Amino acid sequence: MHRHLQDRDRKNNYTILAENSYLDGNKEKAIEFYNKSLQFEGDRDEDIETLYDLAIIYDELDIPLKALRTYRRIIQLDSGQAGAYYGMATMHERLGEDERALEYYFKAVGIDPEYDRAYFYIANIYDEMGNEEKAIHYYGKVIDIKPDDHIAYNNLGSIYEEMGDYSRAYNMISRSIELEPNYYKALFNMGVIYKRLGNNEKAMEYYDRSLENEKYSDSYLNKSAIYIEEDRFEECVEVLTEGIRYNPYAEYLYYNRACCYSRLNMVDSAIEDLRKSILIYPGILDMAADDEDFNNIRKDQRFLALFNRDEAFD
């Protein structure tokens, strides 16, 4: 009996040391102490709690395989742990194994039918797979469980917009903004809808509202596209320059600014920006080859050289 109590004390001490190490920012030390704690026999629920803490640390340290193994240890102790299946799903998703991720998300909701985050990521995976019908269904499940989920409404609206169902898209995005007026992606998506409906002025208004909350590269990009469409090239350069300041690796911002510079006959600047965009994303060359915005510089040797990578990027 005395030895059992002594072991429990040591187990608890290691757990306390692990928690303190984590709070101090020493996650590796926390892992060491949690593992030492698990070496001593203890209450099953306590061990499950410790394993969750361990898995979360492995996740934070971007060690998904160890996190996976830790979640499996939880399942071995209690096969009814929906959170462990959810954790395994998130790790498989991080590893690019979407089918396995779906399998475990579905196991999580099979145990806990109210697990809204699991439904959310099921919907997200189906959306990325291009399965709009299932994505819509499972985002609907999220909203049924959590009717104030502004991100689910936004994502649904985005799917409807891509499908060309602008009425449903508008309703979903409006609800998202109603729930969270400063959510930059919903504000951006409302701009997209108004642009689709031919209302550039309202589109600009929402892109600007989006940028007030987040210096989102796509908001700058879509504003610039309207400026180019309206032949407002100086304003376009101005907005793209601001966008590049906040998003220095956004290839399409450089590309659109190159288009503006070309239309303004600022050849050196156009070629320099086009070159930068290609360095970030070489596939952008395919767009440049047929883009009428580059007609002013198409015969320039430096422009032609961009299509010969060995020569252009020495």
The predicted-structure confidence for 55-109, as pLDDT tens digits, reads as follows 999 999 999 999 999 999 999 999 999 999 999 999 999 999 999 999 999 999 9
- pLDDT at 243 (0 to 100): 98
Residue 2's pLDDT band, with cuts at 50, 70 and 90, is very low
89-116 CB burial, b ≥16 within 10 A, e <16: bbbbbeeeebebbbebbebbbebbeebb
Architecture category of domain 215-314 in CATH = Alpha Horseshoe (1.25)
Mean pLDDT value of segment 216-237: 96
Task: Supply the pTM of this predicted model.
Answer: 0.88
CA distance 133 to 196: 22
Q: In this structure, are residues 89 and 104 in contact, taking their beta carbons and an 8 Å threshold?
A: yes
pLDDT tier, 311 (very low <50, low <70, confident <90, very high otherwise): very low
- Cβ atoms within 10 A of the Cβ of 242, count? 15
Which residues fall within 8 angstroms of residue 233, CB to CB, at 6 or more apart? 227, 260, 263, 264
pLDDT tens-digit series, residues 151-161: 999 999 999 99
Q: Mean pLDDT check: name the lowest of 7-16, 166-175, 251-260, 299-308.
A: 7-16
Say what the pLDDT of residue 308 is.
78
What pLDDT score does 42 carry?
79
SS3 130: coil
